[in-house]
Amino acid sequence: MSKASHLDSTATGETQPRRIFGTILDQLPSWLPWVLLRLLSGMGVVLALSFIVFAATQALPSDPARQILGPEADEAAIVLLRTQLGLDRPLPIQYLDWFSRVARGDFGVSLDSNVPVSELLARRLGNTLTLLLCVVALSLPLALTLGIVLALWRDSRPARFFITLLILVKATPDFIIALGLMFVFALNLQWLPAVSLMDPDRSPLAQAEFLVLPALTITLGSLPYLIRLVRTAMIETLESEYVTQARLRGIPEQALIFSHALPNALIPVIYGVALMLSVMVGGALIAEVVFAYPGIGSALNSAVQMRDLPLIQGAVLIITLSVVLINLLADFLTVLLTPRLRTAESKVLNFWRRSYRRAVQPDSSRGW
Amino acid sequence: MSASLPKRIAPPPHWRLILREPFARTGLVITLAVIVFALAGSWFSPHSPHALLGTVYGAPERAALLGYDYIGQDVLSRVFCGGRSVVWMAAGSVVLALLSGVGLGLLAGFHRGWIDQVVVWWMDVLHAFPHLILVLLVVSMLGRDPGLIVGVTALAFVPGVVRLVRGLTLGVVNQEFIEAARLMGYSRRSVLFVEILPNIVPALLIHAGTMLSWAVGILAGLNFLGYGVAAPAADWGLMINENRTGLLIQPWGATIPAILIALFALGSNLLAEGAARASSRLEEQG
């Protein structure tokens, strides 16, 4: 295409605009259409999510007014609440009205505390993000060191023992880990508080003693998976042809590991961290509830108990939105950091295939 | 001629091959033991799980070997009776997720084209819900019916199964032996179920084990949060929540159910790990 226009313009000199257009297209990175398409699909997913959350909370056969007031409420009160909530209007109109408000960041007013939901969730989201940042700061360096060490000494007896230990940790449900940590460090040793009685006016980082146990719980839940990911990626890279070539050229082992193998082994880890973060949002709920940490998960839990409909909608929407965002970011980073994917021509055609994800699936891995 | 017939890439590991792995053997024994204990336990229960027999958080004695719980019920009897729901619901949701996920994944990977795109897009939407959040949302709106909980848990697992099956199918579909089967005039159904499905069974087995341990975590977690099995019933997850305040006075009421739940998850994990090792060993042998 660009070649043809180039020939044209040199032949006649009249098709200058076409040539400029052609060179601009050529200068655009080849991954751009893919990124745009991925963004569009992400927006579609968000739209579908809003629809599902709306359907689950407002359109299902269960009557929200009945849900809020409980089974013993009398009929008149329920009819009144239905008109107050606008539930007597047709569903499509309800959805459009709800969506236009949500798109402007207005999730309504919490039925339980009469505070605007967005205000309530903003603080809780900040707390959860702080918690998850601590988890990443804790688990990423640990996973990298342990993963590399386990890859380098992979058949040794201590490595095998450690792997068995990791399988054990991985199998233990989150809430049992949380209760175990609480039992040991808060109730028995009394080193750390069992309940997060946080001062809401100070940053959670300034009261770090409340962060330790919830962060430790989530870290223990995600660490085995991350370590396994790093170890598998590292082993695969060390066995690849280019590393063998580099070794034959006499490059010292240390340089081989850290400057040749590691950068490539790190790429699948990005997607792994993203996947872990989206799992963590669910795992954080358990940890937050057990330690009464004021995050978005414990907000959702109490909203469900109080039948606080606007708060449930807001919390679920924010959680799912952040999962979509995390996954998008991880996809972009993975593509931009992998030369083979970055320069591939038919990115749009391969959009749905996304074969690079298969390598980092936690479930399709071939064992330790 | 027969020597040049196309060879299958990875024959499914035989049960014996899997059982040769020590991990798989240990996992199988643990899982079976917990299942038998949970299903048959109520026959050995010394008392009724609902009878108020002793003092609140009473210490173990001859009549109640594990002591009494938060309202004075016999812990041992409740442990014997409280495993049934977790076990059948976890197994049920995994089977349901496998059936629907394999169907959708095969459909998407085999047909490709627009069907594939629609399936993958919807799976992306479902994937945005962390497992527990999806279950919590639906259960809080529609009630705590066990069948519903099993269905939603399965729904939360479906995107993972679809992604796995679809990816493997895309890899298998282009192999020579599939082309050969097509050229020989085999029907679409027999290509799908005789040629493609057996090739993805090993990976599915591994994933099923992982899902089983997730399901145990989700279901027990749901009961722990108080959205699953309702209060008077005996259930391991619920027992942990009921008795956690007395952890320092009478630890057995919370620790024994926790150990049993962890053992069940550990067993299924080890089984998956063993299956994974067996199939990677097969792959290495070629």
Residue A232 one-letter amino acid: T
Name the residue in chain B with its Cα closest to that of A51.
B125
Q: What is the 3-state secondary structure (H, E, C) of B59-123?
A: CCCCCCCCCECCCCEEHHHHHHHCCHHHHHHHHHHHHHHHHHHHHHHHHHHHHCHHHHHHHHHHH
The parts of chain A modelled with pLDDT lower than 50 are 1-15, 345-368
The parts of chain B modelled with pLDDT lower than 70 are 1-15, 283-286
Cβ(B269)–Cβ(B205) below 8 Å: no
Q: Alpha-carbon distance A239 to A331, whole Å?
A: 25
Contact across the interface for B262 and A172, Cβ inside 8 Å: yes
DSSP-assigned letters across all residues of A242-296:
HHHHHHHTT--HHHIIIIIIHHHHHHHHHHHHHHHHHHHHHHHHHHHHHTT--SH
pLDDT given for residue A2 in this prediction:
42
CA distance B106 to chain A (A): 14
pLDDT in tens, B213-229: 888 888 888 888 888 77
Cα dihedral B145, B146, B151, B152, rounded to 10, equals: 70
pLDDT given for residue B98 in this prediction:
93
Contact across the interface for B167 and A168, Cβ inside 8 Å: no
Q: Residue A307: which of A96, A73, A122 has the closest Cα?
A: A73
Name the residue in chain B with its Cα closest to that of A296.
B133
Task: Count, in order, helices (H) and strands (E) of chain B.
Answer: 12, 0
Cβ(A181)–Cβ(A213) below 8 Å: yes
Task: Give this prediction's pTM.
Answer: 0.79
pLDDT given for residue B208 in this prediction:
86
Residue A330 with chain B: CB contacts under 8 Å? none
Q: What angle do CA A22, A27, A28 make, to 5 degrees?
A: 100
Q: Which residues pair with B74 in a beta bridge?
A: B68
pLDDT given for residue B173 in this prediction:
77
Residue located via tokens 């340089």: A255
How high does pLDDT run on average in chain B? 81
Contact across the interface for B128 and A45, Cβ inside 8 Å: yes
What are the two backbone dihedrals, phi and then psi, of residue B73, each rounded to the nearest 5 degrees?
A: -85, 155
pLDDT given for residue A307 in this prediction:
77
Longest CA span, chain A: 88
Contact across the interface for B258 and A176, Cβ inside 8 Å: yes
Residue A320 with chain B: CB contacts under 8 Å? 128-129, 133
pLDDT given for residue A12 in this prediction:
45
pLDDT in tens, B28-60: 899 999 999 888 887 887 777 777 777 777 777
Query: Could you give the C-alpha distances from A123 to A28, A117, A253, B14, in angstroms and in order?
Result: 41, 10, 49, 54
